[in-house]
Amino acid sequence: MEQVTTEQRFREVIAGSKPTVAVFKATWCKDCHFIDPFMPQVEEAYQDRLNFIHIDRDDLPDLCSELNILGIPSFIAFRDGQELVRFVSKLRKTRDEIEQFLDRALEVSNALQK
């Protein structure tokens, strides 16, 4: 997963035609660390259909404010620079919930292509 540290790079990546999932995290976030062990396998399973980027909320606070990122980890899917769908909850996210979100992001992306 690419670590994005500038707003310019963020906007470049999400502008692509392949859907991109931005994962907003922070080093101090316990729920963010909870997903770390299984996220590489999740990314590998979806790598042919989705791009993944990681953004540390503390590195890009203005962008997070613009995107209304309040809780972390937050997942937002983009395509062609537009937000498709987001997964934000106050509860700890499970692998199954994250995969359901990724499937939903692909459904929305495919529906918009038709």
Confidence band for 92, pLDDT divided at 50, 70 and 90:
confident
CA distances from 109 to 21, 53, 78, 84, 94 (A): 12, 17, 9, 7, 23
32 is catalytic: yes
Alpha helices in 21-68 (DSSP H): 30-35, 39-46, 61-66
CA angle 14, 20, 22 (to 5 degrees): 85
- Among candidate residues 21, 22, 23, 32, the one labeled active-site is 32
- Among candidate residues 29, 42, 88, 108, the one labeled active-site is 29
List the chain domain ranges.
2-112
Going by C-beta distance under 8 Å and a sequence separation of 6 or more, which residues neighbour residue 67? 24, 76, 83
Class of domain 2-112: alpha beta
- Whether omega before 37 lies within 30 degrees of 0, making that bond cis, reads no
| pLDDT attached to residue 93 | 92
Q: Look at 16-25, 34-43, 73-82, 90-99 and tell me which has the smallest mean pLDDT.
A: 90-99
Nearest-angstrom CA–CA distance, 93 and 112: 27
Output the pTM of the full model: 0.94
Query: Residue 101 above 70 pLDDT?
Result: yes
| pLDDT attached to residue 57 | 94
Confidence band for 114, pLDDT divided at 50, 70 and 90:
low
64 is catalytic: no
Tokens encoding 93: 């996210």
